[in-house]
Amino acid sequence: MKINVTINGQEYQRDIDDKILLQDFLFNEMGLKSVAKNCEEGCCGACTVNFNGWPVNSCLVFAMEADGGSVVTIEGMANNIQAITLKDAFKRNNASVCEKCMPGFIISLLSFLSGHSYFDEKEVYHALKGNMCDKADYKLVVKSVMEFAKKL
């Protein structure tokens, strides 16, 4: 089927297989290598993209569902000052979020932050419930987010 989809602010028309997942479409056909494939079960969040304003596991969505919609990946946030600042805060605090998980963390957290003016640490943990990785130090991730929030 043909789909029209806006990806990182640019419109595309593509002929796709009905069964292709959004993650495979973005990674293989659109060359967006930040959209990692890991658990493929909706558990880890490594494949998280912003879809129509919400963080979504792209391994759980068919690409055809993106028809008429808008997808933002971390590549589309290259000049986003909030994404850059949050990433810097992770690094400064040694939060151990590597490049595989980083895009999903940033996309989930920026979505959470855009909807919350005031929040506590517990709510940040909750916002990350879809981004599960045993290599990341969640205590330091949350510390980074709280630090980042003070600068907003």
Q: Which one, 3 or 39, has the nearer CB to ligand FES?
A: 39
Site string for ligand FES, 46-75 (x = CB under 6 A): xx---------x-x----------------
Q: Which one, 77 or 128, has the nearer CB to ligand FES?
A: 128
Count of chain residues binding ligand FES (CB under 6 A): 19
Rounded Cα distance, 44 and 40, in Å: 8
Q: Does 22 bind ligand FES (CB under 6 A)?
A: no
Cβ 25 to ligand FES, closest distance in Å?
13
Rounded Cα distance, 95 and 56, in Å: 23
Q: Give the DSSP per-residue string, 24-67.
A: HIIIIIS--TTS--SSSSSSS-TTEEEETTEEEEGGGSBGGGGT
Euclidean distance between the first and final Cα of the chain, in Å? 43
Q: Which one, 42 or 69, has the nearer CB to ligand FES?
A: 42
